[in-house]
Amino acid sequence: MPQAGFLEFRSELLDLCLVSIRHGIDTGRVIRIEPARFDPALNVRRASFVTLLKNGDLRGCIGSLRATRPLVIDVARNAYAAAFSDPRFTKVSAGEVGALDIHISILSQPETMSFCSESDLVGQLRPGIDGLVIEDNGHRGTFLPSVWESLPEPQMFLNQLKRKAGLAESHWSEHIKVSRYATETITGPSE
């Protein structure tokens, strides 16, 4: 489960996202972060996703599934990538920054699930709690737990995740891997 206490750094993490996005607008580059300047709790290796919303609509979402770098670096780089590298959207402009809502999802370590069939897997899913990663035959996709808000039925959630991963909704194989994770989410307006 996510480490307790990241919510106490809400303002600092949201500000970090905003600084990263503004730096990207000004320079076209990712900001360099010195982890030692932050609280040690923010220097633990954690994976995160940064989601940008504008007027309630998705404007960018990029993240990492593996904890390979300090959380402050992961958040700053994912904020930059969500603003400028999400292939579904044009780059965020300076005029949009004030209209963005920022959601930071800090992931727990994914746990491989055990199941004997698709119906067994669906029965184990915890709506509103589980983020899922699905992998099969070179295809991979993930949904954050927040996706349950728009896909509340477990079978529908799984089917749409398969589609996101480039698999048919009806796809099933004995080699399919599914992992679950939880998130601690920090949200707020960009300014």
- Same structural domain, 90 and 10: yes
- Residue 143 corresponds to which amino acid? F
pTM above 0.85, yes or no: yes
Total domains present in the chain = 2
Give residue for tokens 């989601």: 51
d(CA 176, CA 55): 37
| pLDDT > 80? residue 5 | no
| pLDDT > 50? residue 15 | yes
- Same structural domain, 80 and 132: no
3-state class percentages of the chain: helix first, strand second, coil last, to nearest 5: 40, 25, 35
| pLDDT > 70? residue 2 | no
Domain that holds residue 51: 6-108+183-189
Tens-place pLDDT, residues 143-191: 999 999 999 999 999 999 999 999 999 999 999 999 999 999 999 875 5
Mean pLDDT of the chain: 94
* Mean predicted confidence (pLDDT) in 98-107: 96
- Same structural domain, 37 and 87: yes
Q: What is the CATH number of the domain that holds 173?
A: 3.30.1490.150
> Would residue 1 count as lying in a domain?
no
d(CA 128, CA 141): 18
